[in-house]
């Protein structure tokens, strides 16, 4: 004797039943109706997200959920519309995570509050431009006049700084501060940048970014080139 499934009431012929194409067609029709109804429900759910006008996105009065926001305050891109996603974990270790995505952009930022203490501050986790070249970064002014041919650049994606060093010198410096990175680009501790040198001075080139953000080259030749990446600490 045939049986039926619980959710869609699909027929399940018994082993002893003869094949009946009508059973297969009936099951397919039920599945098709269910798929159409489900797709419509999902589309309606996505379109029904709440709209907020001029909210403080870090306010505890906004519950967990997905929102479309205009004129928001306390966002890293003030004055722009965007999508706000808030998730929360309650209990003994409270965690509130706020994600902000700029409208019509891939730029996404995140801010977190744990145990109702202090917000961690906005960190950009995804940046809108998919491909970067060094010249998209900032070109610093070198601090010592004995150089020429400045090709140094730096830029930041999320919590990481990308740094390239390229400079040529009129004489062989033994210990030279090239430039200092600004706040927000300082490493968590001193880091070595892989460089090479060349020319007529036969020195072994080294490059260090100090814990204060100073980019130093030591024992360089006529020129020095290299690049590196490090985690931001300040």
CATH number for the domain spanning 168: value is 2.60.40.1830
Distance of alpha carbon 198 from alpha carbon 111, whole angstroms = 45
Give the other-Cβ count within 10 Å of 93's Cβ. Answer: 8
Of 30, 47, 64, the position where a domain reaches its end is 47
pLDDT for 92 equals: 63
Query: Do 38 and 62 have their domain in common?
Result: no
pLDDT for 4 equals: 85
Query: Do 99 and 141 have their domain in common?
Result: no
Domain containing 91: what range? 53-126
pLDDT for 29 equals: 85
Query: Do 218 and 174 have their domain in common?
Result: yes
pLDDT for 48 equals: 46
pLDDT for 78 equals: 67
More confident residue, 219 or 225: 225
Query: Do 226 and 138 have their domain in common?
Result: yes
Query: Do 88 and 175 have their domain in common?
Result: no
Which one-letter DSSP state was computed for residue 73?
Answer: B
Predicted model pTM: 0.45
Which one-letter DSSP state was computed for residue 141?
Answer: P
Q: What confidence tens digit (pLDDT) does each residue in 86-114 have?
A: 888 776 667 888 988 887 776 788 899 88
Q: Say if residues 222 and 197 touch (Cβ distance below 8 Å).
A: yes
Mean pLDDT of the chain: 79
Q: What confidence tens digit (pLDDT) does each residue in 26-85 have?
A: 888 888 888 777 766 655 554 445 788 888 989 988 888 888 888 888 988 866 788 888
Which one-letter DSSP state was computed for residue 231?
Answer: E
Q: What confidence tens digit (pLDDT) does each residue in 156-212 have?
A: 877 888 888 888 877 766 778 889 999 989 988 888 888 776 655 445 778 889 999
pLDDT for 209 equals: 92
Query: Do 36 and 74 have their domain in common?
Result: no
């Amino acid at each position: 004797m045939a049986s039926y499934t619980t959710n869609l009431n699909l027929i399940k012929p018994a082993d002893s039943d003869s094949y009946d194409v009508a059973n297969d067609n009936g099951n397919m029709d039920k599945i098709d109706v269910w798929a159409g109804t489900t797709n419509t429900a999902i589309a309606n759910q996505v379109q029904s997200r709440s709209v907020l006008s001029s909210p403080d996105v870090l306010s505890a009065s906004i519950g967990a959920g997905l929102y479309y926001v205009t004129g928001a305050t306390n966002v890293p891109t003030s004055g722009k519309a965007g999508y706000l996603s808030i998730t929360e974990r309650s209990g003994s270790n409270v965690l509130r995570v706020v994600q902000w995505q700029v409208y019509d952009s891939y730029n996404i930022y995140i801010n977190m509050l744990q145990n109702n203490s202090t917000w961690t501050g906005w960190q950009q986790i995804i940046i809108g431009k998919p491909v970067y070249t060094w010249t998209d970064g900032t070109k610093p002014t070198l601090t010592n006049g004995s150089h020429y041919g400045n090709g140094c650049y730096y830029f930041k994606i999320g919590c990481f700084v990308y740094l390239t060093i390229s400079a040529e010198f009129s004489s062989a410096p033994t210990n030279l501060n090239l430039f200092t990175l600004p706040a927000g680009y300082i490493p968590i501790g001193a880091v070595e940048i892989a460089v090479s040198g060349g020319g007529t001075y036969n020195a072994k080139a080294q490059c260090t970014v100090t814990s204060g953000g100073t980019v130093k080259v030591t024992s360089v030749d006529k020129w020095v080139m290299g690049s590196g990446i490090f985690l931001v600490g300040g």
